[in-house]
Structure formats: C-alpha cells, structure tokens
Amino acid sequence: MKIEVTEFGHTKDGSAVEAYRITNSHGAYVTVLNYGAIVKDIAVPDKDGHITDVVLGYDTLDKYETNPNFFGACIGRSGNRIANSTFTIDGREYHLTENEGHNNLHSGPDGFEKRIWKAVPQERNGCVSFSLVSPDGDQGFPGNFKVTVTYMLTEQNKFKIHYEGISDADTVANMTNHSYFNLNGEGSGSILDHSVLIHADGYTPVGEGLIPVGSVAPVAGTPFDFREMKKIGRDIAANGNEQLALAGGFDHNFALNGEGLRNVAEAVGDRSGIVMTVMTDQPGMQFYAGNYISGPAGKHGHEYKPRDGFAMETQHFPNSVNTPAFASPVIAAGSKYSTTTCYTFGTRK
C-alpha cells in the first residue's frame, strides 16, 4: 500500500488543507481530505481494467467549502434530519440550528464536514485516521465529543470507514458518509440505469419536511421494494405514489434486515460492470437518488445534473432521537461510540 500526501489549498481563513491518496497494488485508490474528512475520490477497475473514479466531487477546495450537495462529506454529530431542530435528553431540551425549513439537516451549517481534522496516515495498514474534538454545546449538542474516523483501502478493493468516539455527557452520535456514487464514472451522466439491491423488508415513510412519520412500512408492493435487483429508474416516477412525490424520487431510509456487520446493499453500473457491495452494522440506510443535485461544476469541469449520482448513507433512522419506536442514537457518557461501514468494489461482465 502507498499513501501520498499533497497540498490541496488553503481555506478562506488560511488553514492548510492536504489530500491523502491511498493506492493499492491494483492501481485502485482513494483520496481523502483533512478538510471535513471528505472522501474526494474512489477509483477502481471497471470490467475492462480501466481505473474509474466512481464518486462525485470537486477539483478545488473553494467548492468543497460551499459543497451544497455534501459530496463525500463526513457528517456529524448527527446525520439526516431532526424534526424542529430540537430534542430532549435526560429531561433537558436542546436546540440546533434550523437549516432545512424548521428542521435540522446533517447537524446544521457548521457540521463536521466544515472542520479541519488532525490526520494520521498509516501506510503499512493502508489507512488514514482523522480526529477532532467537538466541544460541549458545539452545534447545540451536549458533551465534549472526541471522535476519530478511519478510512482504509484494502488489496481486495474494499473501502472501509470506521467511526469511534466518546463523550463526557449523554449525547447524539449518528455519523455517516455522504459520498455520491456513479459506477459508470463520475460525470458519465444519469444513474437511472444502475441496478440496485437493498436487503430491507421495510422503510420509514415520511411526511412534511421528509421527517419519518414514526413507523416502518413494508416495501412489498411498493416502488421501495429493492429486495430483488432492479434499475433505479424503473419505479422512481411511479404515478400516484405520495412518498415519491414528497421527496422528488427516492430519498428514504430503509430499515435494513439483520444485525451486526452484514451485507445490506449492492449496486451495478450498467456500462462499467463495476459492482459495489455495502456492508454495515447500522440499522438503517438512506438511499438518495440525487434528485436535486446542483451547484458548481464538478471534477474535470463536469456539470452534474439531478440523478447523476446516488448515495447510500448508513445510519440510525432519521429523527430517531425524537422517536421512541426507533433505535436510539444517544450514547451514554463515557461509553464508546463505534460503527463500521464498508464499500467493496468488484466487476461483472
């Protein structure tokens, strides 16, 4: 394994940003930034052996400082939505910044994807660890939260993300990665002909503001049934489906089958033959079909359009901190937060 460190620029306030590229013996590589612990590149062989970058992103730091789509972002302390930007722990109410209507999305405008992280590369292990301390009251959350995210690339083209942390007060910990994938290659156009499989018998329907209504509904007989592989575009515009209308397509949390670290999803690029398998120990995964991708030009000047990439964000269910029926994302003071998600890449002719 090889790790190259290069300068990626300076933030608007003058902080130096570095890019860390991990390369394996097959030529596959992952590039991660100490700004936001952002995943900039994931490049893997396609069916013909061509190394193909399969995540959307930018070539310059200034665009990541804006990053309206959260390309590659390390989301924390809490991914997805919290209703009314408010939650209660131990009888005390906490208020977050409203940044999507009255709700809080991805912890607000000053999330972990906007921070400079301390980086420790470990070439022998093919990984880079990023750490930071989020002080008590940061973003509105209680407790001093010390967190590390480690990115590893293996010789088997597995990209492993491990989060761990500890807080000195009960707090919310629900981190995720917000990479957008196009398995035909970033900038190659629509993902609607990609095929997807999700091991989930249920999903969490949403109401206004895309906040779950508090129950898990069966996917059977709905456009949300991905238990057998199908093209993303097959049902994304199904007539008369209120859930698709609310979200403009797929942007829903799936209640994943099983427990522990297990295979939960698979996606296949229709032209590249690249196959991505997702493993996680989390209870849920947000499948977002990139319905509203917009903003500045991406890598190599590519103009990303809606549905030019999809996200598979492993997580606790959205608004679970306010929903007793869902598994809680609250960790107790002094207890260890630890979770792993892996994206493994292969090919299919």
Q: Of 224, 217, 211, 178, which Cα lies nearest the Cα of 320?
A: 211
d(CA 79, CA 125): 28
123 among known catalytic residues:
no
164 among known catalytic residues:
no
CA distances (Å), origin 102, targets 109, 124, 333? 13, 46, 29
Contacting residues for 144 by C-beta, under 8 A, at least 6 apart? 133, 134, 135, 136, 167, 168, 169
Q: Of 108, 38, 42, which Cα lies nearest the Cα of 74?
A: 38
CA distances (Å), origin 176, targets 179, 194, 259, 280? 9, 23, 18, 11
Containing 167, the helix (H) or strand (E) segment is: strand 158-167
Containing 256, the helix (H) or strand (E) segment is: strand 251-256
The neighbour count for residue 97, using CB atoms within 10 Å, is 14
Q: Of 290, 293, 292, 265, which Cα lies nearest the Cα of 279?
A: 265
Q: Of 147, 169, 146, which Cα lies nearest the Cα of 89?
A: 169
Choosing from 178, 194, 252, 302, the catalytic residue is: 178
Choosing from 113, 186, 266, 313, the catalytic residue is: 313
Cβ atoms 313, 346 nearer than 8 A:
no
- Annotated catalytic residues are 178, 313
